[in-house]
Structure 1
Amino acid sequence: MKTFKLSSLKIIDNEDADMLEQPIPLLDGLIINREDNNSRWVVEAYLDKSQYDFFHNLRKNSAEVLIQAKITKESNRPATFITAIVDMNLIGEQINVIFMGTIVDHRKEIVEKKLKTLIEQGYQGEELLDKFKEQI
């Protein structure tokens, strides 16, 4: 397992086509790459108690929670995770919210999108391969 500091967290509302991002004010947090067979990650966010109702309702109403997290430094690119809230705990005047899920590999999505576009443009066989190599 590898553990990293969680430097920022956003909840992504993917119910609408708008994909609204809601920044979450963190007190602290960790991201753990479990390195298990399912490629699961654990994200623990330590938050002010005022966030309790929001996350309680989110947990109750959503099987999947899409999040964006910046790992280690605020200047890093955000990683996107498809998660579920697996636990919440009151800790004095704070709470922790524990998410478990998998990271979304945007590079793979980009490659698949380029390939699909070329196929839709009518490329196939060796011509498809050559055109694809030009674009990546």
Structure 2
Amino acid sequence: MKTFKLKRLEVVDHDDEEIEQTNIKLLDGLIINREDDKGQWLIEAYTDTSYLNYFNKLHGEQGEIMVQATITKESNEPATFITTILGINEIGDKINVLFIGTIIDRRKHIIEDLLTDLIEQGYQGRELLVKFKELA
């Protein structure tokens, strides 16, 4: 297992009509790559109890929750995870929220979309490689 400092956490909540991103003000946090055969990550967010109702509502209403986690440094690109809430614990006047989930490789998805678009535009072979390098 590898453990990293969680610097920032955003919950991406959606209903049928809109997507809402909620930035969680962290007091502390960890993110652990479990390195198991399911590729699961454990995310612990330690925050103020003002988020208790919000997380209880998410836990009760939704199975899967998308989160964006910034790891190690605030300047890093956030990683996107599909998670479920394992537990919400009150610790004095604070709470910790435990998520478990898998990382979404957005770069891979973006590259696949770009290549698909180029192929649909008729690029192939060497011409496809040149155009891909130009746009990537």
| Residues 73/19 of structure 1: CA separation in 2 closer, same or farther (3 Å cut) | same
Correspondence list, 1:88-103, <5 A: 88-103=88-103
**Runs (5+) with no aligned partner, structure 1:** none
Tell me how many residue pairs correspond in the alignment. Answer: 136
Counterparts of 2:6 and 2:104 in 1: how far apart (Å)?
17
Q: Secondary structure of 2:51's partner?
A: helix
1:104 aligned partner: 104
Correspondence list, 1:32-51, <5 A: 32-51=32-51
Counterparts of 2:7 and 2:82 in 1: how far apart (Å)?
18
Please list the CA deviations of residues 16-37 of structure 1 after superposition, one character each: whole Å capped at 9, or x if unmatched.
5653211011111100000111
1:64 aligned partner: 64
1:13 aligned partner: 13
Of stretches 59-68 and 125-134 in structure 1, the one that deviates more from structure 2 is 125-134
Of stretches 10-19 and 20-29 in structure 1, the one that deviates more from structure 2 is 10-19
Show structure 1 runs of 4+ deviating over 6 A.
none
Counterparts of 1:94 and 1:51 in 2: how far apart (Å)?
9
2:118 aligned partner: 118
Of stretches 118-127 and 98-107 in structure 1, the one that deviates more from structure 2 is 118-127
Counterparts of 1:117 and 1:75 in 2: how far apart (Å)?
30
Q: Secondary structure of 1:4's partner?
A: strand
Give the AA of the match of 1:87.
G
Q: Secondary structure of 2:100's partner?
A: strand
| Offset, 1:118 | 2.0
Output the aligned Cα RMSD. 2.0
Native 8 Å contact 1:10 1:69 kept in 2: yes
State, as a whole percentage, how many aligned pairs show the same letter. Answer: 56
Counterparts of 1:66 and 1:46 in 2: how far apart (Å)?
18
Q: Secondary structure of 2:27's partner?
A: strand
| Offset, 1:135 | 4.6
| Offset, 1:120 | 2.2
2:81 aligned partner: 81
Native 8 Å contact 1:14 1:66 kept in 2: no
Give the AA of the match of 1:38.
K
**Runs (5+) with no aligned partner, structure 2:** none
Please list the CA deviations of residues 26-55 of structure 1 after superposition, one character each: whole Å capped at 9, or x if unmatched.
111100000111111000001111211110
Give the AA of the match of 2:58.
L
